[in-house]
Chains A and B, each alone.
Chain A
Amino acid sequence: MHRLLSIIMACAILLAACAGTAPNVLDVQAGPGGLSSKKIEVNDKVLARQLAFGEVSVRPVGSSLQAQVMVQNLSSRDVNFEYRFIWYDASGFEVSSLTAWIPATLAGKVSRGFNSTAPSDNALSFKCMIRKPNPLNDM
């Protein structure tokens, strides 16, 4: 009886592992001089143990903003993940045209900067999201 329940539980865990997980999100508000505030939302604790958001830099380029988010691999192995930046205007409307998930790999213990340029002058805040690979490879 216990063995049967264990099998059912294991199947349920496997099925859950196949589904996409919510990303970890870095929410950044930019001020006139650059970074104003940042907030990290951890939705995937397993990923958070492998990858951490590091320093965030925001600088003006002409009348727009450019951002760099450092992502650090806390583990000693290569970690594959996906990331994306989404920019918002002052009213909270999404202004990004390119919002596709981008696959990336970070070698063990390595920290790397991921850049994004604001798609328009009215983009004042952004979210940088990272998640475990969730590719479309079979249905």
Chain B
Amino acid sequence: MRRKILLLISCLITALLFSCATTPRVQYGSPEQVETLTQEFGSTDLQMIAEKMVNSLLATPLLQSGQRPVLYVHRVKNKTDEHIDTKSVTDKIRVTLLKSGKVRFSAVNEVNDELVKQLEYQTSSGIVDPTTAKQFGRQVGTDYFLYGEITSIKKSSGRVKDVYFKFTMNLVNIETGLIEWADEKEIRKQAKKPLVGG
């Protein structure tokens, strides 16, 4: 009996070792899962920032007035020493805010050349039916714009590395120049090298 169990365990260990040894294992994961593969800015940091900013923005009286103000995202300055796709952060915020139905976003800041080209084509080429051609001078003026910055402080001592990210976002009233809303999200990540290896 004892010999049989030992044989079974040996077989299981051998099978496990062989299954790990050949090709890399690929599997789909949940984008909602917390990611701590490295200390660098990652998907969970992006999601944490978006969650905080959207929750805060949606709670402001400005967005709850029912007037659906028109916004655009200016930019988020990356003041860290690593590459961060800040557009990906602002896109996540923009998409969630748009889906709330409480704001509208202007595309002028991002695709103005394409808009002008299309308007010229529709009004001047003679190809488009004039009754359906869109006219110049009808774009909606934006009420507010969002801008922000992300900074980081990195420290290390011995086997421990610490990184602190701070993301700040502001909503500016274009007419008055006043910052009508601002919030920030702080993130701390620590990594500890193992005693052996690493």
Contacts and interface: CB of A to CB of B under 8 A. Distances in A.
A117 interface: yes
Interface in B39-82: 44, 47-48, 50-51, 54-56, 58-59, 61, 63-66
B127 interface: no
Nearest to B37: A137
Contacts of A99: 32
Contacts of B31: 100
A64 interface: yes
A98 B54 contact: yes
B55 A116 contact: yes
Contacts, number: 91
B51 A100 contact: yes
B5 interface: yes
Contacts of A29: none
Given A62-B65, A101-B32, A103-B44, A120 B25 contact: no
B34 A133 contact: yes
B109 interface: no
Interface stretch (B93-101, B137-145, B149-157, B161-169): B93-101
B22 interface: no
B2 interface: yes
Interface in A91-139: 97-103, 115-121, 133-139
A115 B66 contact: no
Interface of B: 1-2, 5-6, 9, 25, 27, 29, 31-37, 44, 47-48, 50-51, 54-56, 58-59, 61, 63-66, 92, 95-96, 99-102
